[in-house]
């Protein structure tokens, strides 16, 4: 049996701001809502979301023998998350101004996992960071970290939704599990719904990805084009308006310091950029996922 106190101690030493521990189980209610969401076609071009539903809603099917979910979160808020000047045509989601979080968080989770296996040599499990069908936001709620807001993101009381998540699924019980976060603290606030320039939040916790700017600028593009409203990679519109995000502190972990200033690059700079310059300046960032030509096309669409 793993000591929860040890898990949280090692998580803090690895650089995480929050850590919670939940028992693995089947999330039947989430599965029913997700299947209804798929039936409405809201996944649009994201066909991969239709696969592995049995594993997505039961972590025990994803990792054989999984008993415990360790959910870790780290704040990444930087000044670009507070909004861009009016008329800016080259806006980039604030998380993408840093090193690719997949690499960073996997390294942090690896440090945590290594520490646990040093103390518990027979411990098995697997680490995840947005690379498998893990129900990470609901697991975060189960682990007591926060609630899922109207924009469908995890919202934490201290850090808002400017957090990145990573998980360990472990093959042993913990000596104590955190109580799930009860209810929502959004109150009557509709800022995220009302601020989405394309109306992608069609109902609380319901996103139509065909209208989502992040989907159009990063993922496989939905069939019908939409106005990008100055965003060329991702979108922070439903984050920067949130009262919890406005009062959240800036990130403290230096690995999430921005690597570039997106406001220093106008449309002409992006259009003139060579592949070599792009790789040199942004090779460690999430922008590599879409690539320079996609970004140039996004810039041109906003011209």
Active site (catalytic) residues = 130
CA distance 71 to 93: 24
Burial (0-12, 13-18, 19+ Cβ within 10 Å), 41 = exposed
C-alpha dihedral, 107 to 102 to 90 to 229, nearest 10°: -140
CA distance 109 to 127: 7
CA distance 140 to 138: 5
Burial (0-12, 13-18, 19+ Cβ within 10 Å), 288 = middle
CA distance 229 to 236: 11
Q: Are strands 125-128 and 147-148 parallel, antiparallel or unpaired?
A: unpaired
CB 134 within 8 A of CB 128: yes
Query: Which residues, in sequence order, are bridge partners of residue 109?
Result: none
């Amino acid at each position: 049996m793993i000591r929860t106190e040890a898990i949280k101690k090692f998580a803090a030493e690895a650089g995480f701001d929050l850590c919670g521990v939940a028992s693995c189980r089947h999330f039947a209610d989430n599965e029913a809502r997700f299947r209804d969401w798929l039936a409405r076609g809201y996944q649009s071009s994201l066909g991969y979301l239709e696969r592995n539903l049995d594993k997505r809603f039961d972590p025990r099917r994803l990792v054989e023998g999984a008993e415990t979910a360790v959910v870790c979160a780290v704040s990444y808020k930087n000044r670009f998350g507070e909004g861009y000047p009016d008329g800016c045509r080259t806006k980039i989601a604030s998380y993408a101004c840093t090193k690719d979080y997949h690499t960073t968080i996997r390294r942090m989770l690896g440090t945590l996992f290594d520490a646990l296996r040093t103390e518990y040599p027979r411990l098995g499990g697997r680490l995840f960071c947005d690379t498998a069908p893990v129900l990470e936001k609901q697991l975060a709620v189960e682990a007591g970290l926060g609630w899922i807001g109207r924009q469908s993101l995890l919202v934490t009381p201290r850090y808002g939704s400017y957090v990145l998540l990573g998980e360990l699924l472990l093959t042993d019980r913990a000596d104590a599990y955190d109580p799930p976060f009860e209810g929502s603290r959004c109150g009557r606030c509709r800022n995220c719904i009302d601020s989405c320039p394309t109306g992608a939040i069609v109902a609380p916790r319901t996103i139509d990805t065909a209208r989502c700017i992040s989907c159009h600028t990063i993922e496989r593009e939905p069939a019908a084009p939409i106005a990008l409203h100055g965003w060329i990679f991702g979108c922070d519109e439903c984050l920067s308006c949130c009262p919890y995000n406005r009062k959240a502190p800036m990130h403290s972990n230096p690995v999430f310091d921005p690597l570039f200033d997106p406001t220093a690059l106008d449309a002409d700079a992006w259009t003139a950029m060579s592949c070599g310059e792009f790789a040199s300046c942004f090779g460690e960032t999430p922008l590599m996922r879409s690539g320079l030509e996609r970004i140039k096309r996004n810039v041109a669409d906003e011209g």
